Structure 1
Amino acid sequence: MDPATSTATLQDDSEPSSIWGWWPSWRPTSAAILKSAEAKILTRVQNDMWARYVTLPNQERIWTLTVTNKSAPKPKQQAPSKTPLVMVHGFGAGVGLWVKNLDRLSHSRPLHAFDLLGFGRSTRPAFPSDATQAEDIFVSSIEQWRQSLGLDDMILLGHSLGGYLATSYAIRYPARVKHLILVDPWGFPDRNQPVAAEAEGTQVVKRPTLPLWVKAVVSVLGFFNPLAVIRAAGPWGPGLVTRFRQDFKIKFEDLFDDDTMTNYIYHCNAQTPSGETGYWAMMESLAWAKRPMLQRVDQLPASLPVSMLYGDRSWMTSSSGHEAARIRGQAYTRVELIKDASHHVNNDQPEIFNNMVEEICNSVD
């Protein structure tokens, strides 16, 4: 990072010890290596950035980035601060995967991004096997995180699993969310119920078409946690991720000409399994939730605007978004399909995504 154009403040405490401490001799990973992999990615952030742990009342810690626009003119009189944007990543990810979005989306308002409990660099507690209890732990940790930061309200954006959890959070704490932005959200359709096809107007059960890498993981893992194969592969794990997730190398080739991003994904997911165990408790299969969000979306207050952004090449179906809009009736529910984007909309089409999210945020204040 060029110190003349950006300022990064990093606060890092020693990582908690783990009963799995002997595993790095087999798996070529550690908390320190994950820290270094993430730091390399975050050198691309040009705005002011404060990275630190936010400690919850139970002493669990959430790894958090706060990004603000260093070049914004300082008003002579203090203007009311704009509603912060809070970004929640998806399954198996971390704050590093927002690297193409952090600068632009912090242009006019504070931006906070954090590693979900059990993922990335956050604390990795044990999760129960009950779907409701696991979801409650995720959602409660987000609320405790909000309280610890002292945020009154926010524009809440969630991708994939993060979209599912952001919706659950908004149902429980609607007064804290000014606009809910869902990006290719996971866990919405009911596996056994038809949803309206957006074009034909007929009732069909639209099942997501899983990409080849997902099918491969499913066939290998069977009844194991979704990312167990990465850990079981030991020293071959990094190569396995690079082989199956070449798409990530391509998505970020304008920033890195090496395996920076696939290495980051590996080290995020080769650590002690935790958040993925919570995800495993909540899912019926990789594409379906035990408690589908379409069964609960009517619990969102009609006064809460919702925007749902899908990639037109994603294995998530936008039909769920149109069904959510139908269920919500007259409540504001916007569904957008972004051309030439897969599941990771924000990285496939970052300029379009950033423009769209910034427009939504500007509609709030």
Structure 2
Amino acid sequence: MIRYKYLSVAGLLQKYLPPVLGALFNLFAVFAVSCLNGIYSFLRAASVPASKAVSRLTDRWDGSSWFRWRPTSIMQLSAIEHKIFQCIRSKLESMFVPIRSNECQIRTIIVNRNHPRIPLVMVHGMGGGVGLWTLNIDSLATKRTVYAFDLLGFGRSSRPSFSSDAMDAENQFIDAIEEWRQQMKLDKFILLGHSLGSYLATSYAIRHPDRVHHLIAVEPWGFPEKPVQATNQPKLSYWARAVITMARPFNPLAVIRAAGPWGPGLVKKFRPDLKQRFSPLFDDDTILNYIYHCNAQTPRRISIRTMSIPFGWAKHPMILRITDLDKSIPITLVYGSRSWIDSSTGQNVKYLRPDSYVDVQVIQGAGHHVFADRCEEFNSLINEVCDLVDHQSLQTRNLENDDRDNDIF
């Protein structure tokens, strides 16, 4: 009997200890950040007269006060964005496009407006914004109008509350993009997305196929299913399971916000590669500062966490829905050879769409930020794809011609 009781207790520990430890870890993290916030505020307040400290406590988060935990503001983000835009030689217009009856705004740029060729719309990835397309816009806008915007919840766009349901949150993104299209009076366009932007661009094309001439998915996140764990894998100890449980709610962007005054230093320490990629344009920390200010602002609800499961897989993988995409819409998938995104998913898309145009391209030497790692090769490839759309020489056109020829006989 003692042996059975021991096994029962061990089983209970193995089952419940990891989530308990995970919850304790999260509580400790929140408590630690709160304490640091309080200490930081106290030290700051101690250095100024009490009357001024009280008035600064009542300031809104608008960049007018240095009395804040995160050294960021909307004004700082605006200034760094303006500096980035100055590197774009083409004629650029920037604006806020109102949606949802003026309750939200989409930060938008238009380059080379009113060009007669089919326009290109670009959707950034997780943690990004329109400023990260700086190495690409001039080249891509030589032959057409280029549109780019900050997704809701990112960059300088509004940060509304998102649904806690994954599909509802995804639909909120898609509805916002469609309303943005209507406000911009766009008919049909070439739609390009990177990472998360590819996921949303594909979802948009499924719901609004009549608006998309060609879908370009660059380093698409959220396409494959989460692999099924092998049944013969050894069971992890409850300590290992505890570590995994603690990591599950982890949001890398939350670290930047929680780090407070040390946030900019963390970006510089862990992403020096981004600075190197944009070194042809900036010899300082401009891009790193842009990324920090884009992500240091407080979100209303973490929509990406809602749409994903541990560790970085989509709750509703796009590979399970790719057959819902109108077969007349051609797709080009672009991968970096050194990326953590598996390019074999592109071949799976090709297999699932045998009667459609699907082209898979791998840019050698590029990582996940393929548009910056190998910007010249990337720009050349995208221009080539867009030229094919312009000249209507895609395989889908040939398929339509073949169908008409078959009808004759």
Q: TM-score, normalised by structure 2?
A: 0.74
Point out the more displaced range, 94-103 or 226-235. 226-235
Q: How does 1:227-306 map to 2 (within 5 A)?
A: 227-274=253-300, 277-306=302-331
- 2:148 is equivalent to residue 67 of structure 1: no
Helix, strand or coil at the partner of 2:84: helix
Tell me if the contact between 2:125 and 2:193 (Cα under 8 Å) persists in the aligned partners. Answer: yes
The structure with the largest helix share of the pair is 2
Tell me if the contact between 1:87 and 1:114 (Cα under 8 Å) persists in the aligned partners. Answer: yes
- Aligned identity (percent) is 50
Tell me if the contact between 2:192 and 2:201 (Cα under 8 Å) persists in the aligned partners. Answer: yes
Instruction: Summarize the Cα distance change of 1:274–1:177 in structure 2 as closer, same or farther, 3 Å threshold.
Output: farther
Helix, strand or coil at the partner of 1:308: strand
C-alpha displacement at 1:18, in angstroms?
Answer: 6.5
RMSD of aligned Cα (Å): 2.3
Where structure 2 has 5 or more consecutive residues not aligned to the other structure, the ranges are 1-59, 231-243, 391-409
Alignment partner for residue 198 of structure 2, among 163, 166, 170? Answer: 163
What are the superposed Cα offsets for residues 250-281 of structure 1, whole Å, 9 maximum, x if unpaired? 11111111111111000000012247x11110
1:135, 1:21 → 2: CA distance? 35
Which residue is 1:104 aligned to?
139
C-alpha displacement at 1:37, in angstroms?
Answer: 1.1
Instruction: Summarize the Cα distance change of 1:256–1:20 in structure 2 as closer, same or farther, 3 Å threshold.
Output: closer
Q: How does 1:205-224 map to 2 (within 5 A)?
A: 222-224=248-250
Question: More relative contact order in 1 or in 2 (CA 8 Å, sep 6+)?
Answer: 1
2:335, 2:196 → 1: CA distance? 14
Tell me if the contact between 1:69 and 1:103 (Cα under 8 Å) persists in the aligned partners. Answer: no
Which residue is 2:92 aligned to?
49
Give the letter aligned to residue 299 of structure 2.
P
C-alpha displacement at 1:176, in angstroms?
Answer: 0.2
Instruction: Summarize the Cα distance change of 1:21–1:227 in structure 2 as closer, same or farther, 3 Å threshold.
Output: farther
2:162, 2:245 → 1: CA distance? 24
What are the superposed Cα offsets for residues 281-329 of structure 1, whole Å, 9 maximum, x if unpaired? 0011353100000000001111100000000000001011110111111
Structure 1 segments of 4+ aligned residues over 4 angstroms from their partners = 17-24, 218-222
Tell me if the contact between 2:222 and 2:313 (Cα under 8 Å) persists in the aligned partners. Answer: yes
What are the superposed Cα offsets for residues 225-268 of structure 1, whole Å, 9 maximum, x if unpaired? 33111111110000001101111011111111111111100000
1:356, 1:68 → 2: CA distance? 20
Give the letter aligned to residue 344 of structure 1.
H
Alignment partner for residue 172 of structure 1, among 187, 201, 207? Answer: 207
Tell me if the contact between 1:47 and 1:69 (Cα under 8 Å) persists in the aligned partners. Answer: no
Instruction: Summarize the Cα distance change of 1:123–1:284 in structure 2 as closer, same or farther, 3 Å threshold.
Output: same
Alignment partner for residue 137 of structure 1, among 132, 148, 172? Answer: 172
Where structure 1 has 5 or more consecutive residues not aligned to the other structure, the ranges are 1-16, 71-79, 195-203, 205-217
C-alpha displacement at 1:222, in angstroms?
Answer: 4.6
2:248, 2:330 → 1: CA distance? 39
Instruction: Summarize the Cα distance change of 1:45–1:359 in structure 2 as closer, same or farther, 3 Å threshold.
Output: same
2:120, 2:342 → 1: CA distance? 25
Which residue is 2:77 aligned to?
34
Tell me if the contact between 1:41 and 1:96 (Cα under 8 Å) persists in the aligned partners. Answer: yes
Give the letter aligned to residue 304 of structure 1.
I
Helix, strand or coil at the partner of 1:25: coil
How many residues are paired up?
A: 317
Question: Radius of gyration: which is bigger?
Answer: 2
1:244, 1:229 → 2: CA distance? 12
1:181, 1:24 → 2: CA distance? 44
C-alpha displacement at 1:25, in angstroms?
Answer: 0.9
2:227, 2:245 → 1: CA distance? 23
Give the letter aligned to residue 29 of structure 1.
T
What are the superposed Cα offsets for residues 59-102 of structure 1, whole Å, 9 maximum, x if unpaired? 210000000189xxxxxxxxx82111000000000000000001
Helix, strand or coil at the partner of 1:304: coil
